[in-house]
Structure 1
Amino acid sequence: MKKLAIAVITISVLMALLTACKKTSFLDQTVTSSLDENSTFSDSSNAMQFLNNIYVDIGFATDPRRFSNTGGTYGAGLEAASDEAEGPNSASTNGFIQFATGSVNPTVVPDDAWRKCYADIRAVNQFLKHIPIIPFNSALKKQVAAEARFLRAWYYTMLMQHYGGVPLIGDTIYATADHIDVKRNTYRECVNYVLAELDAAAADLPTTWTGAQYGRACKGACLAVKARVLLFAASPLFNNGGMAAGNADLASIVAYPDADPKRWQLAADAARAVIALNAYQLFVDSTSKPGELGFGFTELFTKRYNTEYILPRMMGDNKYLESLWDVPSRGGSGGSFPYQEIVDAFPMSNGLEITDPASGYDPSHPYANRDPRLGYTIMHDSTMRVTFGTNQPSPLLLYMNTSVTPAVAASGDAVYKGTPTGLYIYKMVDPNVINNSVGNTSRVLPLIRYAEVVLNFAEATNEAVGPTTEVYQSLEAIRQRAGLRPWQLPAGLNQVQMRTVIQKERRLELAFEGFRFWDVRRWLIADQTDNQTMHGMEVDRGPGVVYKPFVVRKHTFSKAMYLWPLPLPEIAKSPELLQNPSY
Structure 2
Amino acid sequence: MENVLIKKLIYRFCLISLLAWGGCQKNYFDTQPDNILTIDKIFVNRGQTEKWLAGIYTFVPNIWNYESFVTPYTLTTDELDASNWVNPAINSGALNAANASLKFLDYYESIRKASIFLENIDRNQEIKDLVNGSEIIQQYKGEARFLRAYYYWLMMKEVGPVAIAPLHSSSPDDDLQIPRSSWDECVDFVLSEIAFAKEDLPLNNYAMGSDTELDPARIGRINQIIATAVESQILLFHASPLYNGNSEMSDFRNFDGKQLIAQQYDPNRWRRAADAAKEAIDIAESNGKQLYKVSDSDPFRAAFLSCRNLYWDGANIEGIWLRTESGMSGWERRVAPRSVEGTGYAGFSVVQRLVDDFRLQDGSSIHSNPSYVENEYTTTATPYYVSGTNKMYTNREPRFYVDITFNGAVNPGVSKSGAANARVELFYTGSSGKAGEPRNWPTTGYIARKNIPPNYVAPSTSVARPTILIRLAELYLNYVEALNEAEPDHPDVVKYLNAVRERGGLPPIEESLGQAQMREEIRLERRIELCFEGHRYFDVRRWKVADKPGSEQGGAFYGMDINEGTSLSDPKFHQRTLVFRRANWQKRFYFMPYGQREIDRNRVLVNPPGY
Mark yes or no: TM-score above 0.5. yes
SS in 2 for 1:15: helix
Are 2:335 and 1:325 aligned?
yes
Map 1:20-39 to 2 at 5 A: 26-28=20-22, 31-32=25-26, 33-34=28-29, 36=37, 37-39=39-41
Map 1:455-534 to 2 at 5 A: 455-484=477-506, 487-489=507-509, 491-528=511-548, 529-534=552-557
User: Over residues 221-240 of structure 1, what are the superposed CA-to-partner deviations in whole Å (9 max), with x where a residue is unaligned?
Assistant: 10010010000000010122
Are 2:147 and 1:151 aligned?
yes
What one-letter code is carried by the residue in structure 2 that aligns with 1:260? D
- 2:585 pairs with 557, 560, 565, which one? 557
Query: Within 1, Cα distance between the matches of 2:462 and 2:324?
Result: 15
- 2:356 pairs with 336, 344, 353, which one? 344
2:385 paired residue number = none
1:12 paired residue number = 11
1:292 paired residue number = 301
1:111 paired residue number = 102
Query: What's the offset of the Cα at 1:29?
Result: 6.4
What one-letter code is carried by the residue in structure 2 that aligns with 1:368? T
- 2:365 pairs with 353, 359, 365, which one? 353
What one-letter code is carried by the residue in structure 1 that aligns with 2:561? E
User: Over residues 161-214 of structure 1, what are the superposed CA-to-partner deviations in whole Å (9 max), with x where a residue is unaligned?
Assistant: 112211112422124554313211111111011111111222322333241101
SS in 2 for 1:552: strand
SS in 2 for 1:551: strand
2:222 paired residue number = 217
CA contact (8 A) 2:161 2:183 kept: yes
Query: What's the offset of the Cα at 1:415?
Result: 7.8
Q: TM-score, normalised by structure 2?
A: 0.83
CA contact (8 A) 1:163 1:254 kept: no
CA contact (8 A) 1:332 1:435 kept: yes
CA shift in 2, pair 1:542/1:141, >3 Å: closer
CA contact (8 A) 1:325 1:424 kept: yes
2:570 paired residue number = 545
Are 2:491 and 1:448 aligned?
no
Query: What's the offset of the Cα at 1:520?
Result: 0.3
Query: What's the offset of the Cα at 1:374?
Result: 1.1
SS in 1 for 2:197: helix
CA shift in 2, pair 1:298/1:170, >3 Å: farther
Query: What's the offset of the Cα at 1:244?
Result: 2.3
CA shift in 2, pair 1:192/1:317, >3 Å: closer
Map 1:74-473 to 2 at 5 A: 77-89=72-84, 96-112=87-103, 114-134=104-124, 135-136=126-127, 137-176=133-172, 178-209=174-205, 210=214, 211-241=216-246, 243-245=248-250, 249=254, 254-277=260-283, 278=285, 279=287, 280-287=289-296, 292-294=301-303, 295-303=305-313, 305-315=315-325, 319-329=329-339, 330-333=342-345, 336-357=348-369, 360=372, 364=376, 365-385=391-411, 386-387=413-414, 394-400=422-428, 409-414=429-434, 417=437, 418-436=441-459, 440-473=462-495
SS in 1 for 2:295: coil
SS in 2 for 1:293: helix
Query: What's the offset of the Cα at 1:430?
Result: 1.7
CA shift in 2, pair 1:580/1:439, >3 Å: closer
What one-letter code is carried by the residue in structure 2 that aligns with 1:27? W
2:45 paired residue number = 43
CA shift in 2, pair 1:467/1:328, >3 Å: farther
User: Over residues 69-120 of structure 1, what are the superposed CA-to-partner deviations in whole Å (9 max), with x where a residue is unaligned?
Assistant: xxx4x67621111111112336x6xxx53222222111211112x1111011
1:52 paired residue number = 54
Query: Within 2, Cα distance between the matches of 1:576 and 1:501?
Result: 43
Q: Which 5+ residue runs of structure 2 have no aligned equivalent?
A: 128-132, 206-213, 377-390
Task: Determine what percentage of the aligned residue pairs are the same residue.
Answer: 28
Q: Which moved more, 1:527-536 or 1:366-375?
A: 527-536
Query: Within 2, Cα distance between the matches of 1:220 and 1:472?
Result: 24
CA contact (8 A) 2:65 2:330 kept: no
Query: Within 2, Cα distance between the matches of 1:503 and 1:126?
Result: 41
2:130 paired residue number = none
Query: What's the offset of the Cα at 1:435?
Result: 2.1
Query: Within 2, Cα distance between the matches of 1:428 and 1:388?
Result: 17
What one-letter code is carried by the residue in structure 1 that aligns with 2:471? R
| Aligned length in residues | 549
CA contact (8 A) 1:128 1:145 kept: yes
Q: TM-score, normalised by structure 1?
A: 0.87
CA contact (8 A) 1:76 1:336 kept: no
Query: Within 2, Cα distance between the matches of 1:446 and 1:266?
Result: 26
1:406 paired residue number = none
CA RMSD of aligned residues (A): 2.8
SS in 1 for 2:559: strand
Q: Which moved more, 1:508-517 or 1:183-192?
A: 183-192
CA contact (8 A) 1:378 1:424 kept: yes
CA shift in 2, pair 1:275/1:380, >3 Å: same
Query: Within 2, Cα distance between the matches of 1:562 and 1:285?
Result: 39
User: Over residues 378-430 of structure 1, what are the superposed CA-to-partner deviations in whole Å (9 max), with x where a residue is unaligned?
Assistant: 1111211253699x992111123xxxxxxxx2224458942211111111112
Bigger radius of gyration among the two? 2
SS in 2 for 1:504: helix
SS in 2 for 1:440: coil
CA contact (8 A) 2:159 2:591 kept: yes
Query: Within 1, Cα distance between the matches of 2:436 and 2:172?
Result: 50
Query: What's the offset of the Cα at 1:8?
Result: 9.1
Query: Within 1, Cα distance between the matches of 2:247 and 2:344?
Result: 41
Query: Within 1, Cα distance between the matches of 2:560 and 2:168?
Result: 53
